[in-house]
């Protein structure tokens, strides 16, 4: 492996990152020797390594690694003399296979392949451009919120399953289980016996304090409580599941409060960006949850993506077509930022009933035999093209103008729209 290109860097570095240590390969500009070392993944070790590197070589120094975000990227971005070049892991794996046909993986060598790829194919890599602190914070918040939402859903499901073992009526008495009123009810009356012992006036006060204003609804709930029949009298079953319910109720309460806190912070940060109110909140079905995610997905730098196709590929929405002999098959892109992909899929799913052409396109795909998930992915693919143009031109999406464009082009969607009307 020899250096084949001249770059305006004092040195080239490849990093094979891991959770506890990082293997490093360094080659000086104009040199042929490669130096290998390993550092621990601690703030102190990274700082010591980076400062020694700067004192010895100055800068700028090109750094290649199979990562565009994460702890090691955040740690290295604070050093101005380091220029980071993320490499697609799948692309580097194919490059490695060309030299190691057996596919054997040796961690220290991976760092060398990274630096070799950087020097041999600089035209295929782009330096990681630092984003503003506000945008980074927004991205971390929306991703963290999504993880907490997942925790909340799992908690609710476990809570419902526990209640069904001894107290199923509580599940039926509430339409929405992701609420503080549901938590408060179960905290006060975790068993059917306890709630049936409660006085009518106490139950009425509870529901009124939790914004149930209609007397008829309150009366129906109280009658249902008093008329309920116990599922079991087995104290072993009741006590074990009651304890589980009490724990899960506290967990659910925490996630509900956390979601509110995240939503407030996300809304406050998103409002700082002119694109948020101008481009994203007016989108059909975006709402306060998906609009900030779309803002984080596109970012501020309009040179970040050269075309819509680049974003379609990076997000994993663009499918991969493979051919072998007479066979052709299309499959999902697995190497992509999963949250980015899910953002566009979630948005597309919301637009099916909010946008005339989106609903028509979804039905068209289903009529062709596509599953729900396949149809939504196909719709997300279309939406990225639309959103990319709005983003580049700084023009809000206009449903009527887009429909007019479809009419001018004689789109087959017009027939689907006419049938739906």
Q: Is the model's pLDDT at 125 over the cut of 90?
A: no
The pLDDT value given to residue 327 = 59
Residue range 373-385, pLDDT digits in tens: 999 999 999 999 9
The better pLDDT of the pair 68, 343 is held by: 343
Does residue 237 carry a pLDDT above 90? Answer: yes
146-202: per-residue pLDDT in tens? Answer: 999 999 999 999 999 999 999 999 999 998 999 999 999 999 999 999 999 999 999
User: Residue 333: its pLDDT value, please?
Assistant: 64
φ, ψ dihedrals at 21, nearest 5°: -155, 165
Q: Is residue 62 pLDDT above 80, yes or no?
A: yes
Residue 224 has pLDDT above 80, yes or no: yes
Residue 238 has pLDDT above 60, yes or no: yes
The domain boundary residue, chosen from 269, 300, 323: 269
Give residue 303's domain range.
274-420
Domain boundary residue among 269, 295, 324? 269
Poorest-pLDDT segment among 282-286, 330-334, 416-420:
330-334
| Predicted pLDDT of residue 3 | 34
Residues 323 and 401 in one domain: yes
End residue of a domain, out of 210, 237, 269: 269
Question: What CATH number did the domain enclosing 247 receive?
Answer: 1.10.287.4070
Whether residue 153 lies inside any domain: the answer is yes
69 pLDDT more than 80? no
Q: Which residues pair with 38 in a beta bridge?
A: 23
Retrieve residue 94's tokens: 């194919």
User: How far from 222 is each of 173, 178, 203, 242, CA to CA, in Å?
Assistant: 10, 21, 7, 21
More confident residue, 103 or 289: 289
SS (H, E, C) 364-385: HHHHCCCCHHHHHHHHHHHHHH
Helix, strand, or coil (residue 270)? helix
């Amino acid at each position: 492996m020899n250096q084949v290109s001249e770059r305006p860097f004092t040195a080239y570095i490849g990093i094979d990152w891991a959770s506890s240590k990082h293997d490093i390969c360094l080659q000086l500009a104009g040199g042929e020797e490669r130096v290998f070392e390993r550092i621990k993944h601690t703030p102190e070790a990274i700082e010591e390594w980076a400062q020694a590197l700067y004192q010895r070589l100055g800068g700028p120094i090109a750094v290649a690694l199979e990562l565009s975000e994460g702890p090691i990227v955040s740690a290295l971005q604070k050093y101005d003399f380091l220029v980071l070049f993320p490499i697609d892991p799948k692309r580097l794996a194919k490059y490695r296979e060309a030299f190691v046909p057996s596919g054997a993986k040796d961690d220290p060598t991976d760092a060398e392949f990274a630096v070799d790829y950087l020097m041999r194919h600089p035209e295929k890599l782009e330096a990681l451009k630092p984003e503003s602190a506000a945008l980074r914070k927004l991205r971390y918040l929306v991703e963290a919120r999504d993880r907490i939402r997942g925790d909340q859903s799992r908690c609710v499901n476990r809570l419902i399953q526990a209640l069904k073992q001894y107290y199923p009526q509580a599940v039926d008495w509430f339409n929405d289980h992701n609420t503080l009123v549901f938590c408060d009810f179960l905290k006060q009356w975790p068993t059917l016996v306890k709630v049936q012992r409660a006085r009518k006036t106490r139950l009425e006060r509870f529901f009124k304090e939790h914004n149930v204003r209609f007397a008829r609804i309150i009366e129906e709930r109280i009658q249902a409580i008093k008329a309920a029949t116990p599922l079991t009298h087995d104290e072993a079953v009741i006590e074990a599941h009651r304890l589980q319910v009490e724990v899960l109720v506290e967990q659910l309460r925490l996630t509900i409060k956390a979601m509110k806190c995240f939503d407030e912070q996300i809304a406050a940060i998103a409002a700082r960006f002119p694109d948020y109110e101008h481009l994203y909140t007016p989108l059909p079905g975006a709402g306060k949850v998906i609009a900030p995610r779309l803002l984080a997905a596109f970012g501020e730098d309009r040179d970040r993506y050269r075309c819509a196709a680049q974003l379609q590929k990076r997000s994993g929405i663009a499918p991969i077509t493979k051919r072998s002999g007479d066979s052709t098959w299309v499959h999902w892109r697995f190497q992509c930022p999963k949250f980015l992909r899910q953002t566009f899929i979630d948005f597309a799913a919301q637009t099916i009933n909010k946008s005339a052409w989106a609903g028509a396109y979804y039905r068209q795909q289903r009529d062709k035999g596509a599953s729900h998930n396949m149809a939504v992915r196909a719709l997300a693919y279309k939406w990225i093209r639309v959103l990319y143009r709005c983003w580049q031109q700084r023009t809000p999406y206009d449903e009527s103008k887009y429909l007019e464009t479809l009419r001018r082009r004689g789109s087959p969607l017009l027939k689907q729209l006419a049938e739906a009307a």
